[in-house]
Structure 1
Amino acid sequence: MKLLYTTLLVVVYIIPAINAAQCLSGQYPPKPERLLPTYVVNLDAPPVERWQDLASKYKVELKDLIAYLKTFLVEISPELQYLVDLVDTKLPAMADTLPAPYGDEMKGISQASGLPLGEVVLYNIFYEVSSLCTSIVGQDEKGNIFHGRNLDFGGLMGWDKINHTWALTEKLRPLMVQINYTKNGQVLFKTTTFLGYIGSLTGVKPGVFSVTINERNIVKGGYIGLIEWMYNINRNQSFITFAIRDMLTNSESYNQTVKYLAEVPLVAPCFYIVAGTKPGEGAIITRSRKGSDDVKLLGRDDLWFLAQTNYDNWKKQPFFDDRLTPCIKCMQEKGKNQVTFESLYNVLSSRPMFNKETVYTSIMEPATGRIEAYWQLCLDEEAPCRPW
């Protein structure tokens, strides 16, 4: 049934949109109401208290999302049924196995929202097994570095026939926020995330680096690492979004961040996209669970930008999900003299980089710590939207 459903989506949406790639202008700035709300998380507070006010504020949205997630989790892969089965048995105890401060932060979210701890853990480990994205790092003619990303999430998790989009994607939209993490009264780093999700998907440490994560679509992904962790087969590995937050908290340089993210053992394969503050500081780190399969650097071979979706960038992209080729073409069309918040937002607002799974676009400048994040919704009325 799942194969038939996917085939129908390819026939109805993908094939007509194959030649519908765009390279738009005039999309920036978006309307002010699309800017995501910003909240503060105080790292000087005890971990169990840090998220309680926000988790209480968003508890209805959190409960709605997780109820839906449990129901449709197995649509992604039959192997994930074990996660649903273990929500009430194994996952609550898993919080105590996580490195500090993550387990206690999840406990605080559970207490404030009224959600069972196992469901909060499920929500926070879900990215290890499912997501899509497009990330770009660009350097202008003066050597200034900019970093942009689309977060795509929720595909094959139930189709909303009324809104013609993914149902899980719609459940995530009310939870999209920007978080400023503070220490000693100062902003230490900034992220774009979903409320209640304590790992980092998109973040910038002002004056040091910015980072995004893309899922890597390969056989036998993060569910193997999750099994190893839950059954204490191998806990000498990091969760992929916790590794980012660890660096945002502790790293003092771009080089330190790249080295750590290239080498740390991981629960799941992924792509880390990192940008620094100086000319040439940009990298795409293609990760397996044990190490790096490739590190592509900004400036090498005269590259003035790097682009990454969810497939190895040195291989031919799949015809049903080639966002990389039109992204590269659009960046080249914009040119090196147009690497700005405006140009990156325009590229990321162009189809197929912008699609039915896209929930937000973030643009960052690591040198200044400036970050802007806007909710996105792809409408077929304007031009055909691919389902992913």
Structure 2
Amino acid sequence: MITFDQLHLIPPLQKSLQEQGFHTPTPIQQRTIPAILQGRDILGCAQTGSGKTAAYLLPILQMLAPLPASPKGSPYALVVAPTRELALQIESHCTRLSKHIDVHSEVLFGGVQPEHQIKKIQSRSIDILIATPGRLLDLIVKKHLSITSTPLLVLDEVDRMMDMGFIRDINRIYAQLPKKKQCLFFSATLPSHMKKLAHRLLYKPISLDIKISNQPKNIIQTAIFVTIQNKYPLLLSLLKKNTEPSMIFTKTKKTAQRLCQLLQKEGLFVTSIHGDKSQQERIKAMQAFTNRDCSILVATDVAARGIDIDHIQYVYNHNIPQTPETYVHRIGRTGRAGRKGYSISLCDISEANNLVQIESLIETKLRDHVEHKWHCAQSFQQTIIHRTEKQQERKKTSKKKRRTPRRKTRRTR
């Protein structure tokens, strides 16, 4: 078994890890830390909860530890994240890991007045800057910040940034950096458009793909078939039965807020985060959930990115997401750090095909739960039809591959 000592991490970092209860590196950390310390560009793919944040923070902190303080307004390393919540989580990780070394970090995000953030940038050295794209570019354009001498860039959850339309911002940020730099891209999935971006921006990267199909073995994934009208009473029944800390994912902000209000009326301790809430409201909700003042968090996909809370045991999908990768991100909130977790998806007839597409991506058939009073036979039957069609499609593809004749090569005399 590989240890952090074998990865040649300096003693102060190992001390921080030990204090937090981390003794052995995860697969993504074992493969990433040495490569980053060698100065290589990285294209890393690993599911949320796999330890990828520490996989890039640890070597960055080690490289910066012996350096003098960075010039004010010009960080040594820049970490870009798609959402405020993720940026805050990364900064929290960085603060804990850098406890015994003289490396300073700061976080920038939108949704709050920039004056306080500008004051911090201009008043002291910031070695590692963690930021969301919009606020970062705003402060660069207004000359409050410069990254023209920043030699290290990290893009975390690049797939989500691209889904949220940040591709132009990524290009603008990249153009501001010096010619000689080290770039690290991390994501939970590797769609084709992200591979194209990496090919364009990374220099001879080391590709590390910790397969998502091998990741959620400690998560019991269940599908429950129900009509749209019966989703709420079914969900309420499940929440009253399973009282452990839970997250509920919804498709829209309106649904998230409505569900939160309805569940609160039932006497459950619930809070919510979504795009219509102010930054202070979202921070307050996250603190309540983290401190276990409430046991249920209702969230939209965008608002939930970056939530890193180990005690979440249940993830409920109030809707089946249209993109399978979104499902992977959702269930990554439970079963973290090797713990057992549960994912329960409420599937109506219109979402049957989405469910089968998810099963195809993760190469796992979800458990079918049909013995409940809200069971919808039509939804279940439609899912079986789509599963059968998918199996036939695979068989046809497999036959075509076997039938493809090999090209005959002419022998040269």
Q: What is the TM-score of this pair, normalised by structure 2?
A: 0.25
Q: Looking at CA atoms only, which structure, 1 or 2, has the larger radius of gyration?
A: 2
- Give the structure with the larger strand fraction: 1
Q: What is the TM-score of this pair, normalised by structure 1?
A: 0.27
- Give the structure with the larger helix fraction: 2
